[in-house]
């Protein structure tokens, strides 16, 4: 597959041209990558209206993912989430949006910016802060009970712990009601390259966003907004403008070149490599389980350890890994999460098993409960625009949440902006180590 952006940058860097254009470093600097960091010069195309090398590169990505259109984001999935919300909201008279509760904070920012009001799907009994598996029955019952149909249905899959939604079933129910299904697939770009149908586009989603930087070999910030072949045509024609509304007018060519280079890699023998790596991760999970370490079911390139089942905190397990020179993706009071890709070799993965082996067993604990959606006092938009003050979490019960999320990662809000903070949710925030929260004054 061609790599027109990368080729252009290499040619330009080698051309000896005097850079009487932005950026100010003029191609020289301490990082070594400055030579490839350019702006929209002649021949470099323009991400806001691509007709040349960027258009060719995005078309390559679209062919790889089987989409109607794939657009690059240099602002991560955070930019794409807001763009998806704008696209869906524009073709609906409603301002309600039906979402599984474990949203990333970019969803709350999007709702605030666009004046959308979330209505929550709560998931089954096993729901936690990060996971909220919704059944087709729950979705259908919720939609049947709503006075007006929402803008769309919005889910996160995989979530931060790697739990996957039944995207096909949820797409089918959404479509029965004439609604688009939007999927935050920030953690699942690689699913496209596994055998079988695993990527949201293949399972019926109308739009989804993939953080290429999270699971593919792409620089941080690189993401895709995919428009499915089955979705309405307006999504495709308006998507560029929608992304532009939430991104810089100076998108990074380093990130675009990285997305471009990924196309060549992914179109080679990546499917085989992806499958092989699934096996390696499966073996690691089996080894950990054989050593008495519980590992949750998750998307294949992740190891999610429910530390509470061992009587440990995720932070304690993370400390053991760090002692073995392994840095995890995420740890909280209940969970330890490792994100793995074929950029790691089998020998390196063995260090994970070694660092966690020989754990002394303790009595299991109960995990923290999921948050309880609180009384909605004002909209997310009014909450983000309101005058605010920071208060100790011990004094926040009864106040109205002013910010989109209090922790990052996982950036999944315990209390949504505009909700009254209940005593239970205040205790939950304290349990997650949050000391201060911003509340409406
Ligand atoms: C579920 C989820 N959605 C969206 C995002 C935002 O992705 P990005 O970092 O690419 O902006 C994240 C980031 O961690 C995430 O975990």
Going from the C-alpha of 106 to that of each of 77, 80, 189, 216, 408, the distances in angstroms are 8, 9, 18, 21, 12
Contact by Cβ (8 Å): 281, 345: no
CA–CA dist 272, 154 (Å, integer): 31
Confidence band of 61 (pLDDT split at 50, 70, 90): very high
Helical axes 270-290 vs 253-267, angle rounded to 10° = 90
Q: Does 186 contact ligand 1 (Cβ within 6 A)?
A: yes
Residue 100 phi/psi, 5° resolution?
-65, 140
- Could you tell which of 159, 162, 184, 186 is best to mutate to test the pocket of ligand 1, judged by most ligand atoms within 8 Å of the CB? 186
CATH for 380-440, options being 3.40.50.300, 2.60.40.10, 3.90.105.10, 3.30.70.260: 3.90.105.10
Tell me the pTM: 0.97
Give me the mean pLDDT over the 25-32 stretch: 98
Residue 317 has pLDDT above 90, yes or no: yes
CA–CA dist 347, 339 (Å, integer): 16
Q: Does 109 contact ligand 1 (Cβ within 6 A)?
A: no
Closest to 429 measured CA to CA, from 181, 225, 122, 439: 439
Share of the chain above pLDDT 90, in %: 94
Residue 127 has pLDDT above 90, yes or no: no
Q: Which atom of ligand 1 is nearest to the CA of 81?
A: 4
Determine the CATH number of domain 270-356.
3.90.1150.150
Centroid of ligand 1 to alpha carbon of 76 (angstroms) = 7
3-state helix, strand, coil in the chain (%, to 5): 40, 15, 45
Place of tokens 């070149």: 257
Residue 52 has pLDDT above 90, yes or no: yes
Q: Which atom of ligand 1 is nearest to the CA of 214?
A: 10
Confidence band of 200 (pLDDT split at 50, 70, 90): very high
Per-residue pLDDT tens digits for 369-383: 988 889 999 999 999
Domain with CATH 3.90.105.10 in the chain: 380-440
Centroid of ligand 1 to alpha carbon of 91 (angstroms) = 25
Centroid of ligand 1 to alpha carbon of 147 (angstroms) = 31
Q: Does 211 contact ligand 1 (Cβ within 6 A)?
A: yes
DSSP string, 367-382: PPPPPPP--B-S-HHH
Centroid of ligand 1 to alpha carbon of 78 (angstroms) = 6
Centroid of ligand 1 to alpha carbon of 15 (angstroms) = 37
Centroid of ligand 1 to alpha carbon of 437 (angstroms) = 21
pLDDT for the residue 383: 97
Confidence band of 79 (pLDDT split at 50, 70, 90): very high
Tell me the pLDDT of the chain averaged across its residues. Answer: 96
| Fold for the domain defined by 4-267 | 3.40.640
Closest to 215 measured CA to CA, from 270, 284, 287: 270
Q: Whose CA is nearest to atom 9 of ligand 1?
A: 76
Residue 407 has pLDDT above 80, yes or no: no
Domain with CATH 3.40.640.10 in the chain: 4-267
Residue 292 has pLDDT above 90, yes or no: yes
Centroid of ligand 1 to alpha carbon of 83 (angstroms) = 14
Domain with CATH 3.90.1150.150 in the chain: 270-356
CA–CA dist 256, 23 (Å, integer): 16
CA–CA dist 254, 244 (Å, integer): 18
Q: Does 102 contact ligand 1 (Cβ within 6 A)?
A: no
């Amino acid at each position: 597959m061609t790599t027109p952006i990368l080729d252009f940058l290499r040619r330009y860097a080698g051309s000896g041209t005097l850079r009487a254009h932005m950026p100010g470093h003029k191609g020289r600097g301490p990082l070594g990558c400055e030579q490839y960091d350019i702006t929209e010069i002649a021949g470099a195309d323009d991400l806001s209206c691509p007709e040349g090398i960027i258009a060719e590169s995005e078309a390559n990505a679209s062919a790889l993912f089987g989409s109607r259109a794939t657009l690059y984001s240099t602002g991560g999935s955070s930019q794409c989430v807001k763009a998806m919300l704008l696209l869906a909201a524009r073709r609906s008279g409603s301002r309600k949006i039906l979402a599984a509760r474990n949203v990333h904070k970019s969803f709350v920012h999007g709702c605030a910016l666009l004046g959308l009001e979330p209505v929550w799907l709560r998931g089954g009994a096993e729901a936690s802060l990060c996971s909220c598996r919704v059944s087709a029955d729950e979705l259908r019952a919720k939609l049947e009970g709503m006075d007006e149909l929402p803008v769309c249905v919005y889910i996160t899959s995989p979530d931060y712990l790697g739990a996957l939604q039944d995207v096909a079933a949820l797409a089918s129910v959404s479509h029965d009601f004439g609604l688009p299904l939007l999927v935050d697939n920030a953690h699942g770009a690689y699913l496209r390259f596994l055998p079988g149908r695993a990527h949201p586009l293949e399972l019926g989603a109308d739009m989804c966003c993939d953080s290429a930087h999270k699971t593919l070999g792409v620089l941080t910030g690189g993401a895709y907004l995919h428009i499915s072949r089955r979705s309405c045509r307006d999504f495709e024609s308006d998507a560029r403008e929608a992304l532009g509304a939430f991104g810089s007018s100076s998108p990074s060519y380093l990130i675009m070149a990285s997305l471009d280079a990924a196309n060549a890699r992914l179109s080679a023998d990546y499917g085989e490599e992806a499958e092989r790596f699934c096996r390696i991760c499966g073996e690691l999970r089996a080894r950990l389980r054989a050593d008495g370490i519980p590992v949750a079911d998750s998307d294949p390139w992740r190891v999610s350890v429910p530390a509470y089942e061992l009587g440990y905190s995720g932070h304690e397990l993370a400390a053991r890994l760090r002692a073995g020179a392994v840095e995890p993706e995420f740890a909280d009071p209940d969970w330890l999460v490792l994100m793995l890709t074929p950029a790691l070799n089998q020998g390196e993965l063995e260090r994970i098993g070694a660092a966690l082996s020989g754990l002394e067993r303790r009595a299991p604990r109960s995990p923290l409960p999921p948050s309880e959606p609180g009384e909605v006092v004002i909209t997310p938009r009014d909450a983000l625009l309101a005058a605010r003050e920071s208060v100790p979490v011990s004094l926040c019960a009864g106040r109205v949440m002013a910010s989109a999320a209090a922790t990052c990662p996982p950036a999944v809000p315990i209390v949504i902006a505009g909700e009254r903070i209940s005593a239970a949710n205040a205790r939950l925030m304290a349990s997650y180590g949050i000391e201060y929260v911003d509340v409406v004054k």
